[in-house]
């Protein structure tokens, strides 16, 4: 079983990112749901340049396939860290999203199936669950250090492990190697 220890690397990685796992859509469909109208080949240099051009915000998302799941990575962004967005990403399939945002101390975990958010919560406050089935993942949450009681707290690493528990996919930065596939959205 994947645990939070498998995600210890992310403590020393970027302080703001959102990773979204999507099942039931291909690369182009995932990017279309983000609002990308002209997907294509990009590089890490493109990602960093876009970040610099936009003064620390990023509207470029990249995707990679692993098994039945597409993984969308939005560096320095939080577009996919909202229930409404997760509903859109999960239509006709399933989606899980995890956001790390150290500056705002506002992290996010969400799981949706076929357009309905089942469970969402801030990983640092797992007792504040929302969704159609807020307790559906409770046993796995507790096993992974996201115990909501009495006033438990968790971590982004634990939320990533929970995403892996659902998807069977271990997210690593190594999944995203140049050339990347992605594009800008919201232009």
Work out the number of other CB atoms within 10 angstroms of the CB of residue 187.
Answer: 9
* pLDDT reported for residue 102: 83
* pLDDT reported for residue 137: 97
* pLDDT reported for residue 36: 95
Q: Which tokens sit at 78?
A: 């939080």
* CB-facing half-sphere around the CA of 126: CA atoms within 13 A: 25
Residues 6+ apart with CB under 8 A from 88: 33, 115
What CA–CA distance (Å, rounded) separates 126 from 148? 5
Residue numbers of the chain with a pLDDT score lower than 50: none
Percent of the chain as helix, strand, coil, to the nearest 5: 30, 30, 40
* pLDDT reported for residue 148: 86
Q: Which tokens sit at 153?
A: 């707290």
Q: Interhelix angle for 27-34 vs 83-90, to 10°?
A: 150
Q: Which tokens sit at 174?
A: 């190594």
- Identify the burial level of 45 via C-beta atoms within 10 angstroms of its C-beta, where 0-12 means exposed, 13-18 middle and 19 or more buried: exposed
* pLDDT reported for residue 79: 81
Phi-psi region of 12 (alpha: psi -120 to 50; beta: other; left: phi over 0): alpha
């Amino acid at each position: 079983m994947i645990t939070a220890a498998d995600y210890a690397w992310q403590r020393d990685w970027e302080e703001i990112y959102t990773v979204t796992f999507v099942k039931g859509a291909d690369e182009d469909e995932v990017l279309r749901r983000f609002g990308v109208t002209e997907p294509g080949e990009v590089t890490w240099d493109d990602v960093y340049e876009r970040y610099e051009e936009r003064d620390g915000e990023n509207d470029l998302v990249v995707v990679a396939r692993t098994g039945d799941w597409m993984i969308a990575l939005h560096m320095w962004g939080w577009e996919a860290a909202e229930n409404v967005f997760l509903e859109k990403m999960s239509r006709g399939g399933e989606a899980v999203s995890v956001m790390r945002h150290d500056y705002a101390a506002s992290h996010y975990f969400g799981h949706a199936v076929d357009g309905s958010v089942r469970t969402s919560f801030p990983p640092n406050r797992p007792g504040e669950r929302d969704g159609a089935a807020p307790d559906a993942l409770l046993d796995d949450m507790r096993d992974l250090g996201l115990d909501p009681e009495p006033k438990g707290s968790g971590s982004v690493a634990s939320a990533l492990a929970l995403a892996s528990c659902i998807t069977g996919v271990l997210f690593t930065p190594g999944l995203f190697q140049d050339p990347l596939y992605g594009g800008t959205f919201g232009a």
